[in-house]
Structures are given as C-alpha cells and as structure tokens.
Amino acid sequence: MAESVVQFLLENLSALLKEEGSLLKGVRKEVKEIETELNRMRALLRDADRRKDSNEEMKTWVGEVRDAAHDVEDIIDEFLYRMDRPRRGGFKGFVVDTIHIPKNICGRHRFATRLQETKVNVQNIFQRRPSQIEEVTRSSDVSEQWQRDLETSVFKADNDIVGMTKEIDLIDGWLVEEEKQRTVISVTGMGGVGKTTLVTKTYKNQQVKKHFDCYACVSVSQSLRIDELLRSIIKQLLEAKEDVVPNDLATKDAGELRRMVRGLLDSKKYLIILDDVWTMNDWNKVNVIFSDCGCGSRLVVTTRDFNVASAAGEGRRVCKLQLLDQEEAWVLFCKKAFPNEPCPLELEPLARSIVENCEGLPLAIIAMGGLLSLRDKTALEWNRIYKNLSWQLTNNQMLSPVKRILLLSFYDLPYRLKYCFLYCCMFPEDYLIKRKRLIRLWVAEGFVEETSKITMEEAAEDYLKELIHRNIIQVVETNVFGRLKACRMHDIVREVALSVSREEKFCTTYDELQARQNGKVRRMSIYSSGEINHSSAGMTHLRSLRVFDGNMSLSSSLNTMASSFRFLRVLNLEGVPIESIPDEVTNMFNLRYLNLSKTKVRELPESLWKLQNLQTLDVRNTELERLPSGIVKLRKLRHVFIYRLTDEFAYNFNFFTSIQVPVSICNLTNLQTLHCIEEKEGEIVKQVGNLTQLRSLTISKVRKIDGAELCNSIGKMKHLLTLNVSARTEEETLQLEALSPNPPPFLQKLYLYGHLENVPRWLNSLVNLTSLALNWSKLREEDPLSSIQALPNLMYLYLQNAYEGQQLCFRDGRFTKLRNLYLRDMKQLNRIVIEKGALASIQELILINCEGLKTLPEGIEYLTGLQELRLWGMPTELTDKLKLKDGSEEDRRKVRHIPIIKRVQWTEAEGWVMELLNVDENLRKAEENLVDVEKKMQEQLHGNCLQESSLARQR
C-alpha cells in the first residue's frame, strides 16, 4: 500500500510539473528532486509491500516513506492554493493584488524552504532503508506461500460441503454433455465462497472422471509461472498412467514443456482444472496450451474476476457462486463448531449472531467454527471473540487464512482501485452505498484519473464495475433498468479493509481515534456522538470527514474544526442538526465536496467563493432560501443540488421547491448536474444553454412563452442524459415542440410536469430513452401512446393525469422492453386494452386512483411475465372481483399467473392499508399464529435451560 501512496503522489507531481510552469517558478527544482527521490524508492516499496513477514524495522521504514509522501502532498496543495488564489476584479482589486505581490514572493521562498527540508528528509529515509529489501520485480515467498495454502485446500475432505448441490449438478452436467468441441466451464465468486471446494468435489467424482482419458488439477494463482504450471500438469498426467516422470523435467524450458503437454493430450479427451486464474492475460497464456482435437475435452476455470469467467466460459457456461443462505450457514457452522454434538441452547443466540456476521461466506464460517470449537463453551468466552472480530482477524492464527485469502483480491488491484476499495470501508456496517454519491466522492478525493476521452465520473463508474466484477464489492440494489443503484461491503471483507486502512493510515473511525493519537489521520468517519479532539496533531492532516450520526451536535465546534482541518477535501455533514456554517469553513482551500443536505442550515457564508476547488455542493432539503452570489466564481463546480423536496412521491404538482440562485450560475461551464434551477422572467432558459457539459438538468416554473428559448438551450446539451422540466402551474402549457429536430441524442430519462397540447413529435426519435414520465399532461389525443410505444429501449413509463380520454390501447408488438407501467389519476379512463404480443417484458403494473376503471385491463392474461399487480385507491368494483373469497372466478382466472396482487386502500381508522388479494387471509393469519407459538415455545425452552444451567453452577 505504501507503494500506492507514492505512485499516487508521483502521478500528481508529474502532472504538476507539466501544467503549472508559471506557478512553480522558484520551487520547480525542489519538486523535481523530490520526484526523483520518490521514484528511487518506489521499486523498494513494491518489494516491501509484498513481504508480509516484514520485521519491525521494515514496517517503520515503510511508514516513514508513507508519511513523507503525505507531507509532500500537503505542502504542494497549500502552495498551489496560495499562489493561485482567485484575483479580485476592478481597480481596487488590482491595487490589493499589487500590494500582495511581496507576500507571494515571500510565500514562494517559504515553501521552497519547506520543500528543500522535505527533500533532505526523503533522501535520509532512502539512506536508512533496511538491508533485506531487494529491488525485484516479483516476489516469490509470499505468493508461493499463499499459493500453497490454496493448493492445500484443494485436497481437503469434502464432507463439510453445505449447499452448492445445484451448482455441483450443473458443473457435472456440463462436463458429461455430448459436446465434441473443447468446452470451457467457468466458476466465479468472491474469495472464500467455495470455488475451489466446488471444482474439487467434481474432480474427485469417479463417475465424472470415467468420461475422460486423462485429467489434471493445478493452481494458477497470482504469480503465474507457465513453466511450473506445465511441469505440474505433466507430473499429474504421467503419474495417473503410472509412467515415469523424466529426470530432466526440472531443466526443460517452457517451449519444451508445452510440446510435452500437447503430446500427452493429443487425440485424448482430457479434463483440466485451472484453479484461481486472476487476469485475462493469465487466461490467454494458459488457454493456448490446450488444443481442441474434437474429443469432447473440458477445461474448468475458477476465478474471482467475472470478466475473466465470462470471457473464458464464452458467456455460456459460467457458474457464479452465491453466499450461503441463513440456514445453510448455520448447518456449516455447527459442523465445525460442534462436530459431535448439537449447539447448546444457551449459546445458540450468540452463535447465530456470529454466523450472521459471517454473512454466508463459507471460508469465514468454517474458520470461526473451527476457532470456537477449541474454546470454552461459555457465553462469556464466545461473546469476547464476537465483540473483537476485527482484532481476531488480524491477530488470531486460526483466522489469519481468512484475512490472507481475502487480501489476495486487494493486493491484485491497481493502486487507484486500492484507494477506491478501502474508501468503501469508511461507511458503517451494512450501509447501502449509493452509486452516484460514491462516484462523486472518489472524484473529490482525487482517486480517479483524468483523461481527455471520458469524464472522471465515467471513469469512476468503470472503477466501480471493476470492483464488482472482481467480487469484492456487492450489488444490493438495482434500478428498474438493471443498473447498479447501491452497493455494500461484505462485513468480513469490510473488517479486513478496516485493518489495512488502520495499518496504512488511510482512514479510521472516530471511536478508534484514541488508539491512534500519535499517527496522522487522513480520513475519518464518525458513527456515534462525541466531542472531536481538534487539538490532536494527527487531526490537522484530515482529508475527509464524514458524519453518519444524525444526533451529533457540531454547532459549537465547527469554527474550531474549520480552522484546524484546512486540508479537507470532503466534508459530509448530511443530517447533522446544525443551523449555520461559519465563515471559517471557506478557509478549507482544498475542499472539493460539501454535503449539507438534510441539515437545518439557513444561510451559507458570502465568502463561499473562496472554495475554488469545490466540485460538489449538496444543500438538498435544508432551510436555505438562496445561495450567495459568489457561487458564480466557483469555476470547478461539477454537481449542484439545490432544492427542497415537498413530496418525495410526487403526489402534488410542484413536488420540489428550488432555492434562489443568481442567473449567472449558468456561466459555470463545468457543471454536469444542476438540480434544480427556477426560471426567472425568461432569463434562465436563455442562459442555461451555456451549460453544454450537463448530464442532468432539473428546471422548474417554466412558462409557456419560455418554450422556444428553453428548447434552443436544451438542443445545445449534446451530453444530456436526464431532463426534468416542470411548468409554473398545473394548468400552464409546456411548449416543447421546438426541440425538434435536434433533441439531446443520448437522453435516457425524461420527466415532464405540465399541460401538453400534444405529445411532442420528437419523442419517438429518442432511441436511448429508458424512462418517461408525463405528469398533468391532460392529453386529448385519440391515441396518445402512438408517439411513444415504438421507443426501442423504454423500460419505465409513468403517466399521471396525463390523458383525459376513456380508453388506452397497447398494440401488438409495442413497448417490447417496458418493465414498469404506472397509470395514475386518470379519472375518465374506463377501459384498458392490451393486445396479445404487447408489453412482452412487463414485470410491474401499477394502477392508482383511476376511479372510472372498474374492470381489469382486457388482455392482462397475455402478460405472462407480470410479477406484480398493484391497485392503489382503485374502485372496489374492481378490487373485490379479485378476492379469493366471493370474487369473480373469471377475473381470478385471468390473473392467476401473477405472483403478487396488492390492494392499497385508505381507511379512516388505519390510513393506507395493504392487502394481498391472491393470498387466503385466514391461512396467512393461521401461519403467523403458528410462527408466534413456535417462537414463544423456543423462548420458554431457552429460559428453562438457562435457569437449569444457573442452578447447576450454584450446586
């Protein structure tokens, strides 16, 4: 990790030396010399990072290098701010800037002196390097030890296998199928999920082996050595035939070994298992060794990288292993923790908590079970281990394999992805990390490489996809389009990441801070209330501060924080009950991300303009009425969120209220997100066209007469992906026809609030549109769906008070990709017709407050993929027909293929009440009562056992 710190700094220094010539006058020499010294150390650090058996001398030296690199980063950041602070305008500004010229000269001299001292320190650190460090390009000791650990696990007994029955049958089926071509089968999943166990089970299956002439099972591992791999395959192939292994095998080169393997496999039906393939490059190297002789040979590949698995298995024969479910995890744990006895009742609650903490990861479950099987069977002992899981993972020898195997994935990451991965552990346990927010944070922290071809946000999204494909970040929520919406860290993976972060001084949590007062803290998360020790020397170097405790009071300490944490890049105070932000916050010259959403802040400092590096400003759902005029000077702003949500579910017309902003905000040409801005007498619609880099725009209170200017501005936004436009009132017409013929070509989401005279003709040209919402359109066209039903990628359609006619018809072969359909507040609608072949991909149909619709949609029986039908505030004439008791047999027959049918009705006594119409209510209540009885019996039995145990101890 220390190598990553230096590499990160070196790239920044290199860019600085290329682009900041005028600013670096007087200090360029020192910066260049420091760059040279750090380059000399980088190779040494690579070797040191790989040596997990490092002694204290080496660890101390690596820490010194890391701290020195951090010091250089701080000095350079402050220097650039002092030399490049924004100039004042006008004659007065000229006079003030002239007066400050001597200060700038003194500043350069002072920073040159600091850089000179730092350079000497770096040189001295290099001279003190430990003697055992060698400049090598690969390390063998650690990699080989980990490889041996993995290979040993291949040949363990398989009597502890739990779950994976379907996966084993699937793999066995693929192996013995009548396919004469050589076939590659891939097994993928996160480290420790059981990939090796699965393929080993298959490899030992004699019924499978008899289908092949020869077979071998080898570990590829991170440190791929083709010659060693080939020798292992040759030995296994020869020993299986009881042939003699050549004495000179160890001296043959890779070319000779390849020829031997091909000779042994020629015209044979072979089975080769390649365990633990890490990269596409490694796969390409081993794949070419095994030719296809048309005999039905099979290669089985295990990998942590889904990209490798997909490419190797050609996207067809890929088996992705999932985590064990709760009951499977419990069975596996009990096999290890209580091999010859049941779990004692007094330990079961705690044991289940321990299993739950392992989150279905077999490696962790087996290790924890094995550890606890050797400990006293007392709640006190087990609770001690449970409460100190992080320490146990780092220090307990029985759990060290868990950490080492999971760390394999971490150490294989490129250095930028290492930063991104560790950053995720700053979020609390089980926290749902929103994709867009995480991306903006990574960019603000400087983890994302800037290129000329794509934005940093797009590059960051690729980073996230890579972490997911490597199976070290979990997808937990997707939107209706199947795109990642939220992710999280597995608890055990998070504990491992936290241990690395503490060791490398990457980040910490506030409750751990007392143990780290002597070290410099770079990033900190606060999970629980408490007073922050601002005076701690390490705190002054903070780069990121995130507060997750909505009850924490910071009002009294914000001034001190602002003056102490000058290097902050990220300040996230979301949900903290503060009412004001002191002017001192604007002295955080490094600040790139400021999140004050859901606070009680009423006003921002007028000196906000001083935050010249600010990229993201989030003041959603605060008490703010306006933004200070100085915001227009923040040229690096990329994302601005400035609205209050009045109704999250858009029950009312204007469901958000914008904050007053100066019109000249439209001159911030780096803006990519602007939510939301309010039209002012025709000025905003004219100026917003300057924002040609926008990806997402929300604009409110648009008048009919603004339509032409707004369309002209939107037509300039060639990168726009999301557009949200609302009229001034429910009756105001949105005049958007002028957007034809050049609407944004990549538009994916379009939300319109206001009256439409007709469906805009340009809508049918939006071939990339996935989501469309028409609210209060009040269309009177005979067939309002005709202009949108051919959109090839539309997946989400929301129509609220959008049509004043009586019938909607979904034509055969139309809306082929639509998954979610919402029809709401259309009072005249009394008939819906769905032709056979329409809505072929529909999964969810929601009907809300359509009071004239008293019959089921005609043709609903054709929607065979429909998963949920929700009837919200619909007439009882319709909903009563679907009840299992006293309902309509004919209507129930039409919807019997739908798994979930819900009715949501308003009652004076209980408010909104949800009822499952396709579930027998009496049966459901009986099942709930049975569960309650069983639970009470278990609690009573558990209490009796505890009482007996207590009496026994007293006796």
Give 448-463 as a DSSP string. Answer: SPP-SSS-HHHHHHHH
- Strands, E assignment, 620-731: 639-641, 643-645, 656-658, 673-678, 696-702, 722-727
User: How many angstroms separate the CA atoms of 644 and 582, rounded?
Assistant: 22
State which amino acid sits at residue 503. Answer: E
Kindly tell me the burial class for residue 557, based on how many C-beta atoms sit within 10 Å of its own C-beta (0-12, 13-18, 19 or more).
Answer: middle
Q: Which residue has the higher pLDDT, 59 or 837?
A: 837
| Residue % of the chain over a pLDDT of 90 | 35
Res 601: pLDDT = 92
Residue-wise pLDDT for 885-907, tens only, equals: 667 788 889 998 999 999 998 88
Q: What is the mean pLDDT of residues 422-441?
A: 93
Distances (CA, A) of 193 to 190, 362, 488, 508: 6, 6, 17, 28
DSSP state, 696?
E
Q: What is the mean pLDDT of residues 248-271?
A: 88
pLDDT at 908 over 70: yes
pLDDT at 514 over 50: no
User: How many angstroms separate the CA atoms of 433 and 541, rounded?
Assistant: 25
Residues in CB range of 382: below 8 A, 6 or more apart: 347, 350, 351, 354, 372, 375
pLDDT at 143 over 60: no
Residue-wise pLDDT for 736-777, tens only, equals: 999 988 899 999 999 999 999 999 989 989 999 999 999 999
User: How many angstroms separate the CA atoms of 199 and 167, rounded?
Assistant: 10
> Given pLDDT bands bounded at 50, 70 and 90, which one contains residue 291?
confident
> Given pLDDT bands bounded at 50, 70 and 90, which one contains residue 300?
very high
pLDDT at 550 over 50: yes
Res 935: pLDDT = 52
Residue 428 CB coordination number (10 Å):
14
Residue-wise pLDDT for 454-489, tens only, equals: 899 999 999 999 999 988 999 988 876 778 889 999
Region at 88 (left for phi over 0; alpha for psi -120 to 50; beta for the rest): beta
User: How many angstroms separate the CA atoms of 801 and 650, rounded?
Assistant: 12
Res 421: pLDDT = 94
DSSP state, 733?
B
Cis peptide before 582 (omega within 30 of 0): no
Kindly tell me the burial class for residue 867, based on how many C-beta atoms sit within 10 Å of its own C-beta (0-12, 13-18, 19 or more).
Answer: middle
> Given pLDDT bands bounded at 50, 70 and 90, which one contains residue 97?
very low
Degrees, nearest 5: CA angle 188-331-366: 60
pLDDT at 849 over 80: yes
Nearest by Cα to 820 from 482, 360, 332, 467: 482
Q: Which of 91-95, 268-272, 392-396, 620-624 has the lowest mean pLDDT?
A: 91-95
Residues in CB range of 470: below 8 A, 6 or more apart: 304, 305, 306, 409, 412, 413
User: How many angstroms separate the CA atoms of 912 and 908, rounded?
Assistant: 9
Kindly tell me the burial class for residue 725, based on how many C-beta atoms sit within 10 Å of its own C-beta (0-12, 13-18, 19 or more).
Answer: buried
Q: Which residue has the higher pLDDT, 159 or 721?
A: 721
Res 85: pLDDT = 52
pLDDT at 260 over 60: yes
Residues in CB range of 306: below 8 A, 6 or more apart: 188, 320, 468, 469, 470, 471
Residue-wise pLDDT for 708-740, tens only, equals: 999 999 999 999 999 999 998 888 999 999 998
Residue-wise pLDDT for 621-651, tens only, equals: 999 988 999 999 999 999 999 988 765 444 4
User: How many angstroms separate the CA atoms of 807 and 783, rounded?
Assistant: 9
pLDDT at 47 over 80: no
Handedness of CA 170, 173, 175, 178 (dihedral sign): negative
pLDDT at 940 over 90: no
Task: For 371-392, give the secondary structure using H, E and C.
Answer: HHHCCCCCHHHHHHHHHCHHHH
Q: Which of 162-176, 186-200, 667-681, 903-917 has the lowest mean pLDDT?
A: 903-917
pLDDT at 287 over 70: yes
Res 434: pLDDT = 94
Res 157: pLDDT = 43
> Given pLDDT bands bounded at 50, 70 and 90, which one contains residue 148?
very low
| Residue % of the chain over a pLDDT of 70 | 83
User: How many angstroms separate the CA atoms of 785 and 789, rounded?
Assistant: 6
pTM of the model: 0.83
Phi and psi for 708 in degrees, rounded to 5? -65, -45
pLDDT at 397 over 50: yes
Q: What is the mean pLDDT of residues 79-96?
A: 52
- Alpha carbon 491 to chain centroid, angstroms: 15
> Given pLDDT bands bounded at 50, 70 and 90, which one contains residue 443?
very high
Res 101: pLDDT = 43
Q: What is the mean pLDDT of residues 662-672?
A: 93
Helix (H) or strand (E) holding 808: strand 807-810
Looking at every residue in the chain, the average pLDDT score rounds to 82
pLDDT at 862 over 90: yes
pLDDT at 534 over 60: no
Q: Give the length of the chain.
A: 955
DSSP-based helix, strand, coil % in the chain, nearest 5:
45, 15, 40
Mean pLDDT comparison of 113-117, 359-363, 723-727, highest-scoring range: 723-727
Residue 511 CB coordination number (10 Å):
12
Tokens 């859901």 correspond to: 598
